[in-house]
Structure 1
Amino acid sequence: MESSGVRCLSSQWVYIILTDLITVKRLLFGKIPLLLAQGRFATQVQNMIDLMLEELGTPDNVSTEIGCMLLVDRDLDYATTLLTPVTYSGLLDEVFGISGGTVELDDRVTGGNGPVTYRLSSTDGIYDEIKNKHFSDVYSFLSGKTKELQLEFERSRKMALQEIKHYVSTQLQKVTTVKRSLSYHIGACEVIVGEMGHRFEDLHKVEQSMLEGRHRRDNCNYVEECMVTSGKITSLRLLSLMSLTQDGLSQDEATALKTQFLHAYGYEHLVAFQNLEKLGLFTQQGSGLLASETAGKLADRVAQVVSLPKRGVFQVTANKLKLYPNVSESYDLKNPKDMAYVFSGSYIPAVCQLVHLLIKQEQSIEEILKLIPSPSKWNGHSKVAEAAPRTFLVYFIGGITYAEIAAFQLLEKITGGRILVAGTSIIGGNTLIESIL
C-alpha cells in the first residue's frame, strides 16, 4: 500500500480488507441490509464484496443487529487527520505516539526510572474515563482522583488489625494499580503541556483560519516560522492543511514554501513533495489559460491583503455538511453538545457528520452521499432505506483518527444509536507525514 494507505491498494491489502469485511458480515453480523460506500477505493471494495458474497451464498447468521455498514476512504477528509486534536488520547498520540494500543513513556513521566511501555485499554479505569475528554477537563479529573486516593490512604491508616488484613487481601493491589495509573497519566499531562502548551493557542488560530479560508499571508508566514521552530513534520503538516483547505496554493506560495523547506531540511525531501502531490495535499492553483492564471494570481493577492475568505471546494463541501458549528461564549468544551469539541469547536469530522445525517435521515441517502464530491454506492431494499438505522458499522480504508473515535462516542450519546468503528489502522497527522518522508 502507498504511504497514505489510501491512494493505491496493493492486492495483499485488498485481500486483507475483503477477508476482514466478509468475516465480519458473514460470520458475526449476518447479512447487513444497507451497505454504503463513499470514495473510490470504498466503492471498489464494495463491488468486490458483492461478487464474493454472490459466490459464497447466504451468510451463516441470517439475523443481524447492524442496520448499516459504511465503507469510507481516508482521503474523503484529510483535514481531520492533519488538524491538531484536543482529546487526551489524541494529544497522547501527538506527543508520545501510540502503537498497537501501547505508549512508550520516557523519563519525563517515570521520574528518571527509565522508559516504560504502558498498555492503554479499558481495563485501565482512569484512561477509559479520560481518553475522549477535552484536554482542559483531564487535569481536574485526575486531581479529583488523586484526592480520593489520598482519602483512601488516610482511612487505611486508621483501620484495626483485622480491617488491615482484609484491606491488603482485597483492595491493596487495586489501589496500587490506580496509584501507578494516576502517576503515569499526570506525568503524561505535564509533558503534553510542556510540549504543546506554549504554541497551542497560535496553532489553533492558524488552523481555524485555514479551515475558513482567511488570512492566507499570515498563515504562510506561520508555516515559514514553523520550519525554523517546530521541525519538518509540523511545517509539512500545516503546509498540507493550507493547500487542502484553499484548494491548492498559488504558484508564488507553493514555490516559496517548497524552496524554504528544502533549504532548511535538504533536497533529499523532494520525494516528500512528490508524495504529497499524489495525495492531493500539495497542489497549485491555476492550470488553465494564461489569462485565467493571471486573474487567479491577482485574486489571490487581493485575498491575502484584505483577508477575504476564499470559498473553494473544501469550504463549499464543509458548509453543505455543516462542519463549522456555531461557537459562542457559552460553548462548553468540558460538556460538549456537538462533535466539534474534538477540535475545540472549529471543525466536525466529515465522516462523523455523514453518519449523523444518516441517523437523522432528514434527506434521502442519495442526497446525503452526494454532499461529499466522491464516487459513492449503496445497496439495500428501498423499504430498508426508508427506516433510519440505529446501529452502524463504519470501516475506514486508510485509517481512523482518535478524534473521530471520540466524536463517534459523543454521537452515540447524542442520538442514542450504536456505532462500531474499524479500519486498516489508527492514523494521525504525524504518522501521515512521516509515511511520505
Structure 2
Amino acid sequence: MDGESTARFQSLREIARQRILEILDMIQGQKFLAIDPSLVGPLSLIIEMSVLKEHGVSKVSQIVEKEIEFDCRDVIYICRPTIQMMQFISGHVKKCNEHREEHRYHLYMCPRSTTVCEKILISNNVMIDFDSIDQINLFLIPLENDLLSMQMDKSFREIVLERDFSIYHYIARAILQLEHNYGPIQIKEGKGFASGQVLRILKMLEEDDPEHINEVPISVIQSAVLIDREIDMITPLCTPLTYEALIDEVFGIANNIIKVNPRVLENDSDRQIQISLTSADNIFQEIRDLNFCVLKPLLIEKLEYIDNTYKEKDQQKSVEELSKYMKKFKQAHKEASFVQNHLHLAIHITNETVKNPFFNQNLDIEHSIIMGDSDSQILENIERLIGMGEDINTVLRLLCLLSVTQNGLKNKFFDFFRKEILQTYGFEHILTLSNLEKAGLLKKQEGKNNWSNLVKAFKLIKEDVNQRIPDDIAYAYAGYAPLSLRLIENLYISGWNNDVVRSLPGDYSAIRLNTEDKKQADKPLVLLFFVGGVTFAEVAAIRYLNRRPDAKREFVIATTHLINSKSFIDAVSEKIQNEIERSSIE
C-alpha cells in the first residue's frame, strides 16, 4: 500500500529527526552520545551515523552498567524512562565525579520524561550535575508507509505481567500525535481492557487540548480501531506461511534488518551480513506478503528474465535501441543482487521448514489443535516432543496454543506437563511456567471451551484457501484465518454488539468526537492499532484486504511492536541459568 495518504506518515520520521538534530545543535562543539540499548535500533531508523558525526557527535556508545570513558566535555544521554537506566547513568556520573572529571551532562528521555526518573537522580545525588533534562516525543516510527511501530518490545510483558500502565499513556499520546499532525480521528473504538484504558486516557488528553482538532484542514485518518493482543493470543502461536513472516521466524527481523550467516548467501565474508528488508528493495516489496509456496519459482523466473536481459546486449543496433536497452540493463543489474539474496534466503528457509521433518511434525500438531482434534493424540505427540528433547520454546508454544484454544488444560494434564518440563529442561523454568499461567497462556481449565463457537462464528478455518492466488486472509497461515482480523472484518459487517464478540476478553470502548466535518478521502483510511504486538503474517493479511477490488476502506497498521511465535513466548519467559549447569561449565 503506497498511496499518498499512507506515505504522509513518513513525516513522523522527519519530525523525530529534526528534534534530535535540534538537541545536537544546541550544544556547541564535540559531544559524546550514550544511547539506551533498546533505542539503538529504533534511532537508526530515524537518523544515520554519518549525520550524527556531521552535527558534532565524536562517539556513540550504549548505556551499560560499567563505567564509560567519555572523550568530550559534553555528554548526551538518550534513554527510556526506566529505573535501570537512571541507576546506570547515576553510576557513570558518580564515577566521573570521583575521578574529578569535568563534564556537562544532558539527559533526554524517550518518549517521555517522568518524575519517577527525576526522583531517582535526586536520591542518587546527581540531579545537580545535569545541565538539561528533557524528552524526545518519539512514539510511532514508520517501518513502511502502511506500518507504524512504537518499537517497544517489552509492551506485552508490561501489560499482562507487570501491569505497567505507563504503556497506555504512551499509546494514547502516540494517537494524539497522529491527530496533531494528520487531523482529528472522528471515531476511535477498541476491544479489550488495554484498549479501553488507552481510549480513556486519550479522551482526557483530547479534552485538555481541544484546539488540536481544528489545526489540520483535512482528516487523513477517519477512524481508529484498537485491538488487544490478549483477545487473540492464538495467532502469534501459529506458524505463518508468508515470506516476510518466515524470515522473521527463521532469522528474526529487528528494525527492518536481518543478520545472516555469510554461508547462507554463499559469501566469503568472515562476519554476519546485514540485509535491509524494506520497500526500497523492489523485489522484496513484490514478494514479501506472498505465501512461501509460490516464492521459489517466481524468483527463478526473475533470474531468467535478468539473464535474458544481459544476453540482449549484442542484439542492439541503433543508438536509440542501445539507449533503451541501457535503461533496461541498469534496472536488471540493480535487481540481480536482490533476487540472488532472496533466492538464497528462500533456500535456507526451505531447509529449515518445509524440508525439516520436525517442522512438519510440529505443524501437524498445530493443525490438529486448531481443528479441535482429539486431545489424547495431541497431548501424546507433545509428550513425545519433550522426550525427544525438542526446543523448549516449541514445546511451550504448542502447549500454550492448546491451552488458549481450550480455555486451559485439564488439571491432571496441566500438572503432568509442568512436571515433565521441569524434569526435562530444568527447574529454572518454573518462573517461566508461572508467568505463562499469569498471562493466561498456559493455565488450568476454567469453565466452558468457547473455541468451536469462535471457529464457527468467525469462520476461522478455511481448508480450501487458494495460497497461490489468495481469496481469503487464511492464505497467510495453513488455512487458519487470524481471529484478530476476522474480528475487524466482523466490525464492518455486523458490528461488535453480539454475544460472540462479547465472549472475547475485555469490554468494547469508543470515542466519537463532536467536531465540524472535515474534508475526507473517497476511500476512508482506518488506523488499526494492535496493543501488545502484531505479526508479519497479520500485516500481510491486512495488505491483502487493502488490495481486494471490493475494498471499501484502506487500513494502515500501528502497533507497540512486531512479534513472532518465539518472541511472543520469550516476552513472558525468565532467563535464569541453571546453577548446577553453570558450576559444571566453570
Tell me the TM-score normalised to structure 1 length: 0.85
SS in 2 for 1:436: coil
Query: Which residues of 2 match residues 260-279 of structure 1 at below 5 A?
Result: 260-279=420-439
Per-residue CA deviation, residues 32-85 of structure 1 (Å, 9 max, x unaligned), is 222111110110010000000001004122531433201111111111100000
How far apart, CA to CA, are the structure 2 residues paired with 1:149 and 1:426? 34
Q: Work out which of the residue numbers 221, 225, 238 in structure 2 matches 1:70.
A: 225
SS in 1 for 2:224: strand
Q: Work out which of the residue numbers 441, 446, 451 in structure 2 matches 1:281.
A: 441
1:374 positional shift: 2.0
Alignment partner, residue 408 of structure 1? 542
More helix by share: 1
Alignment partner, residue 41 of structure 1? 194
Q: Work out which of the residue numbers 122, 129, 135 in structure 1 matches 2:286.
A: 129
1:4 positional shift: 3.1
How far apart, CA to CA, are the structure 2 residues paired with 1:46 and 1:392? 16
Structure 1: gaps of 5 or more residues: 288-310
Q: 2:158, 2:164 within 8 Å by CA — same for their partners in 1?
A: no
- What amino acid is aligned across from residue 497 of structure 2 in structure 1? E
How far apart, CA to CA, are the structure 2 residues paired with 1:113 and 1:168? 33
- Cα separation, partners in 2 of 1:26 and 1:2, compared to 1, 3 Å: closer
Structure 1 stretches of 4+ with a deviation exceeding 4 A read 157-173
2:220 counterpart of 1:220: no
2:484 counterpart of 1:324: no
- Cα separation, partners in 2 of 1:15 and 1:151, compared to 1, 3 Å: same
Alignment partner, residue 189 of structure 1? 346
- What amino acid is aligned across from residue 366 of structure 1 in structure 2? N
1:235 positional shift: 1.1
How far apart, CA to CA, are the structure 1 residues paired with 2:186 and 2:501? 17
SS in 2 for 1:282: coil
SS in 2 for 1:22: helix
Q: 1:108, 1:187 within 8 Å by CA — same for their partners in 2?
A: no
Alignment partner, residue 298 of structure 1? none
Q: Work out which of the residue numbers 227, 235, 238 in structure 1 matches 2:395.
A: 235
- What amino acid is aligned across from residue 544 of structure 2 in structure 1? L
Of residues 162-171 and 243-252 in structure 1, the stretch that sits farther from structure 2 once superposed is: 162-171
- What amino acid is aligned across from residue 203 of structure 1 in structure 2? N
Per-residue CA deviation, residues 216-245 of structure 1 (Å, 9 max, x unaligned), is 122112222333353111111111111111
Alignment partner, residue 19 of structure 1? 173
How far apart, CA to CA, are the structure 2 residues paired with 1:371 and 1:69? 22
Query: Which residues of 2 match residues 156-167 of structure 1 at below 5 A?
Result: 156-159=313-316
Query: Which residues of 2 match residues 293-308 of structure 1 at below 5 A?
Result: none
More strand by share: 2
- Cα separation, partners in 2 of 1:18 and 1:27, compared to 1, 3 Å: same
- What amino acid is aligned across from residue 189 of structure 1 in structure 2? A
2:315 counterpart of 1:179: no
Alignment partner, residue 291 of structure 1? none
How far apart, CA to CA, are the structure 2 residues paired with 1:277 and 1:174? 53
- Cα separation, partners in 2 of 1:392 and 1:400, compared to 1, 3 Å: same
2:250 counterpart of 1:95: yes
How far apart, CA to CA, are the structure 2 residues paired with 1:9 and 1:124? 40
- What amino acid is aligned across from residue 217 of structure 1 in structure 2? S
How far apart, CA to CA, are the structure 1 residues paired with 2:279 and 2:204? 38
Of residues 350-359 and 417-426 in structure 1, the stretch that sits farther from structure 2 once superposed is: 350-359
Per-residue CA deviation, residues 177-209 of structure 1 (Å, 9 max, x unaligned), is 311111111111111111112234433332122
Q: Work out which of the residue numbers 562, 567, 575 in structure 2 matches 1:431.
A: 567
Q: 1:18, 1:45 within 8 Å by CA — same for their partners in 2?
A: yes
Alignment partner, residue 336 of structure 1? 470
Q: 1:2, 1:9 within 8 Å by CA — same for their partners in 2?
A: no
How far apart, CA to CA, are the structure 1 residues paired with 2:416 and 2:261? 38
1:278 positional shift: 1.3
Alignment: residue pair count = 403
How far apart, CA to CA, are the structure 1 residues paired with 2:179 and 2:420? 50
How far apart, CA to CA, are the structure 2 residues paired with 1:229 and 1:356? 41
Q: 1:39, 1:375 within 8 Å by CA — same for their partners in 2?
A: yes
Q: 1:39, 1:73 within 8 Å by CA — same for their partners in 2?
A: yes
- Cα separation, partners in 2 of 1:286 and 1:333, compared to 1, 3 Å: closer
Q: 1:250, 1:285 within 8 Å by CA — same for their partners in 2?
A: yes
How far apart, CA to CA, are the structure 1 residues paired with 2:503 and 2:485? 13
Q: Work out which of the residue numbers 139, 150, 164 in structure 2 matches 1:10.
A: 164
- What amino acid is aligned across from residue 405 of structure 2 in structure 1? T
Q: Identity, % of aligned pairs?
A: 23
Q: 1:110, 1:184 within 8 Å by CA — same for their partners in 2?
A: yes
Q: 2:172, 2:202 within 8 Å by CA — same for their partners in 1?
A: yes
Q: Work out which of the residue numbers 372, 375, 380 in structure 1 matches 2:507.
A: 375
How far apart, CA to CA, are the structure 2 residues paired with 1:94 and 1:140? 22
Alignment partner, residue 57 of structure 1? 210
How far apart, CA to CA, are the structure 1 residues paired with 2:291 and 2:402? 25
How far apart, CA to CA, are the structure 2 residues paired with 1:17 and 1:401? 18
Q: Work out which of the residue numbers 214, 221, 244 in structure 1 matches 2:404.
A: 244
How far apart, CA to CA, are the structure 1 residues paired with 2:469 and 2:325? 38
Q: Highest relative contact order (Cα 8 Å, sep 6+), 1 or 2?
A: 1
2:487 counterpart of 1:354: yes
How far apart, CA to CA, are the structure 2 residues paired with 1:167 and 1:381? 55
How far apart, CA to CA, are the structure 1 residues paired with 2:485 and 2:266? 39
- Cα separation, partners in 2 of 1:62 and 1:161, compared to 1, 3 Å: closer
Query: Which residues of 2 match residues 77-116 of structure 1 at below 5 A?
Result: 77-114=232-269, 115-116=272-273
Of residues 6-15 and 71-80 in structure 1, the stretch that sits farther from structure 2 once superposed is: 6-15
SS in 2 for 1:422: strand
Q: 1:34, 1:68 within 8 Å by CA — same for their partners in 2?
A: yes
Q: 1:77, 1:351 within 8 Å by CA — same for their partners in 2?
A: yes
1:436 positional shift: 2.4
SS in 2 for 1:175: helix
How far apart, CA to CA, are the structure 2 residues paired with 1:152 and 1:225? 53
- What amino acid is aligned across from residue 370 of structure 1 in structure 2? R
- What amino acid is aligned across from residue 361 of structure 2 in structure 1? D
How far apart, CA to CA, are the structure 2 residues paired with 1:271 and 1:53? 41
